[in-house]
Chain A
Amino acid sequence: MKSKTDSEALKHNPEAGSSNKLIGNLLRNPENTIVYVCLFYYLVMAFIAPGFFTVNNSWNILFNLMPLMIVAVGQTFVMLGAGIDLSVTSVVAMASIIGGYLLSDMTALVEPVWLRMVMGLGAMVLAGGLIGFLNGLAVTRLGMPAFMVTLTTMILFSGTAIWLTRSQNLYLLPENFVNLTYSSLLFVPYPLLIGLIVISAAWFLLNKTLFGEWLLASGMNSKTAYLSGVPVSKTLVKAYVLSGCCAAVASILYTARLETGSPVMGQHILLDVIGAVVIGGTSLFGGVGKIHWTVVGAVFMTLLDNSLNLLGLSYFLIMIVKGLVILLAALLNLMQVRKLT
């Protein structure tokens, strides 16, 4: 029986002016809070950071944002399942050298460039998926903590990438591939297009499919989920595979932009990736989170990085600021979870 209808509920919440409502909304929805914080931060920086509010820098922000956002979206799946994937940096590196090797004119494995592109990009994504699959198996079958598993694979595959290439970069990538960053389809730049496709697919998977529901349930309470017939292990493995694939797609963008396959590609993105997901508001304990929260989180991390650079802060100071911001977000995150349960 409904003891209170929606209209009754509204009566208890008289509209005491729109400003009150706005603050109420801000407090109630962490997703909205971060949107407003982002807008506010953007406006402030537009005034005080030299060269921030320019066409050139806007492109810069966009190209920095896309790969980060894609990795963070993959990470969101893993964190929704109450795990964490620290190995994304090594996936970016492995995919970058595999792609570099298969695409490069130095090796020129097959003559037609289009075939090389298909092979190279396919192998990159496949490699990411495989590493994710390994992570997922270790976490679900061996029952190891996600943190330990992915820390290990991060070191393992970073090392592998450097060892395989003897720490050399792979140059001479095909023109078509390198131009990916700056060309567009129907006026939409390719990086933005790829980013939009990844977001849409992720949103669909999480919100519309059985997999999404199962993932959220497994992350919220794996015992209840298993007892209710949810294939918890399979679902979590899929989340790690998705994270690996997303990191590999991001690696395509990074590799194209830097025009090299590099074994140390993505070495420094881990803090930004985890930060984006946490700032977005996805629960550190799994089960609560949205794709668009992470997108906003990634926007904020990118704005922060870009603006602090323009303000002339040193690399180390930027690290300190980012660390503090993520710590604050994690605290808010905890308070949110406590309110729920």
Chain B
Amino acid sequence: MLLKLQNIRKSFGKVEVLKGISLSLERGQILALIGENGAGKSTLMNLLGGVFTPSDGDMQLNGNAYLPDSPIAAQIKGIAFIHQELNLFPNLSIAENLFINQFPIKKLAGFSLIDRRTMRERAVELLRQVGLQIRPEVKVEELSPAQQQLVEIAKALSAHPQIIIFDEPTTSLSRHEANQLFELVFQLKAKGIAMIYISHNLDDVHLLADRIAVLRDGELVKLDVKEAVDIQGMVKAMVGREMSEFFPARKVLPDTKRLLLVENLTAKGFVTALDFHLNRQEVVGFYGLVGAGRSEMARILYGLDRFDTGNIYLNGRLIQKPNPADSIKNRMAFLTEDRREEGLLLGMDIQKNVQLAALSRFSRGIFRRIDRKRAGGQVSDTVQSAKTRYNSVTGQPVSTLSGGNQQKVVLAKWLLTAPELLILDEPTKGIDIGAKREIYGLINQLVEKGSSVLLISSELEELLGLCDRILVMSQGRITASFTKPMFDRNAILEAALHKQSETLPT
């Protein structure tokens, strides 16, 4: 047994993200690890890669206790981690990137100098192993994403790893390039290197893996040989949960009156020819992979980013050049993905955070003096209706609140502006189950009171449970549309991966 994990647990604060995972891996074996965002895949891999240490449980490598306290320690023990975002220095050469951690050294008159010749020879050998025929002096910025990926693998090989972890290695590759990568993966397997392969693309997973492990909410819900699991089985294991308990039905149906109409919206390099609408009291979900253009679309609608062509109508009125202040006046609200950087004033208390977007409504007279009494009353009402848990509305910085309560503070800020259109970008990212449920309840209440919601989420289950319609985006375009109750998980997942499989080799 090469690697053995027993009952691994990991908690961040009070939130337990891994709840007793047991796994094993043998030489030359490929284990696929799948699950929705937030299922705990990255956390588990970061434990192996020495980024975090487990709260409980036992890890063994070659029968010895394995407890890396840093990525370097993991590397020395023979575990290489190839991250989704590549960790290369674009301004340095391939060879320099390969040996950045330990340059070959020669001594000259007492000075340590880099031994360029040895470095070059070893670089050529490593590049040959990954099938990259490029001179090692070439700078990394001149390489294609696929070539950079290979350099990253060559770098991993230089440390003679026993296990290589791949985290979504094909997201920036064309189909042709991906196939070349898979050939390399099989070559490495033949050499006896074990691999853990994380991917959203279930076809790739089925092609590569010997065994498939499915994580959901920090638990290992399925672990079986490839032959015993088909793609439907994987999807079911990934998302299967009692839906009705989690998503109570709304008491209202979408109105036929149109609130938002978007025509041919294009921003070069981000979104292309988007056409869609949103009715009053409707919840429309956007599904897609990271980088599909969903957040970019939301930022354009709210006026944070510019667009090139297209029309946006709100209540039948053309919105010329949207900007946040006008959007708020038009009764829009936007909860962004980045809660800490774009949602909160971390060092300030709940009062200051929640009143911020509605502040001008509380000011009077030529000096725009603020009516503290009225602001205070409305803030406490809103915060309480958002079920936020706190010690004090004033004096306690929001940085001391849990992630879920911080998100409720951001939500309360927007509730206070009484929005007609609420754009939510990953509203439950990094939040525990209980708080998620309360946020779902709040969304339903809001819609029942007359608002419409545009919901971006990478958790398919969330969209299936909350939305009246789901639009799927891939590479900046809307590739499919589904209306309740005709939601088909497989078709939605396929539409999200759609364009990527069809991209021609470049």
Contacts and interface: CB of A to CB of B under 8 A. Distances in A.
A221 B344 contact: yes
A1 interface: yes
A1 B389 contact: yes
B369 A213 contact: no
Contact of A224 (B341, B369, B388, B391): B341
A211 B368 contact: yes
A340 interface: yes
A227 B334 contact: yes
Interface stretch (B38-46, B50-58, B264-272, B357-365): B357-365
Interface string A225-263: 111111100000000000000000000000000000000
Contacts of A3: 389-391
Interface stretch (B86-94, B189-197, B209-217, B345-353): B345-353
Given A229-B325, A341-B346, A209 B369 contact: yes
Interface string B290-319: 000000000000101000000000000000
A225 B356 contact: yes
B357 A229 contact: yes
A182 interface: no
B399 interface: yes
Contacts of B77: none
Nearest to B338: A223
B324 interface: yes
Nearest to B417: A229
Contacts of A229: 324-325, 327-329, 357, 360
Nearest to A3: B389
Contacts of A4: 391
Contacts of B329: 229
A173 interface: no
Contacts of B336: 227
Given A229-B324, A229-B328, A230-B356, A287 B348 contact: yes
Interface string A198-229: 00000011001111011011001101111111
Given A217-B345, A224-B344, A208 B369 contact: yes
A9 B348 contact: no
Interface residues of A, number: 32
A223 B345 CA distance: 9
A166 interface: no
Contacts of B368: 209-211
Interface string B318-346: 00000011011100001010000111111
A337 interface: yes
B298 to A, nearest CB: 12
A213 B344 contact: no
Contacts of A340: 346-347, 397, 399
Contacts of B359: 210, 213-214, 230
A230 B388 CA distance: 24
Interface in B143-181: none
A337 B347 contact: yes
A11 interface: no
Contact of B345 (A6, A9, A220): A220
A2 B343 contact: no
A228 B384 contact: no
Contact of B370 (A213, A223, A224): A213
Interface string B380-395: 0000100111111000
A228 B363 contact: no
A296 interface: no
B402 to A, nearest CB: 12
Given A209-B363, A221-B341, A223-B341, A228 B356 contact: yes
A223 B339 CA distance: 11
B12 interface: no
Contacts of A287: 345, 347-348
A284 interface: no
Interface in A313-341: 337, 340-341
A230 to B, nearest CB: 7
Contacts of A230: 325, 356, 359
A238 to B, nearest CB: 12
B111 interface: no
Among A4, A214, A221, the most chain B Cβ lie within 10 Å of the Cβ of A221
B280 interface: no
A277 interface: no
A228 B356 CA distance: 6
A70 interface: no
Contacts of A217: 345, 348, 352, 356
Contacts of A6: 392
A217 B369 CA distance: 16
A79 interface: no
A208 B390 CA distance: 25
A217 B347 CA distance: 10
A288 interface: yes
Given A224-B343, A337-B347, A341-B346, A210 B391 contact: no
Contact of B324 (A209, A214, A226): A226
Contacts of A221: 341, 344-346
B393 to A, nearest CB: 9
B180 to A, nearest CB: 40
B363 A210 contact: yes
Among A213, A216, A217, the most chain B Cβ lie within 10 Å of the Cβ of A213
B352 A228 contact: no
A228 B348 contact: no
Contacts of B384: 1
A226 B336 CA distance: 13
B10 interface: no
B413 interface: yes
A220 to B, nearest CB: 4
Given A217-B348, A228-B357, A230-B359, 18 more contacts: A3-B389, A204-B367, A208-B370, A210-B368, A213-B356, A216-B352, A223-B342, A224-B341, A224-B342, A224-B344, A224-B356, A226-B324, A230-B356, A231-B325, A287-B345, A288-B347, A340-B346, A340-B399
8 contacts: A211-B368, A216-B352, A217-B348, A220-B346, A221-B345, A228-B356, A229-B360, A341-B347
Interface of A: 1-4, 6, 9, 204-205, 208-211, 213-214, 216-217, 220-221, 223-231, 287-288, 337, 340-341
Interface of B: 302, 304, 324-325, 327-329, 334, 336, 341-348, 352, 355-357, 359-360, 363, 367-370, 384, 387-392, 397, 399, 413
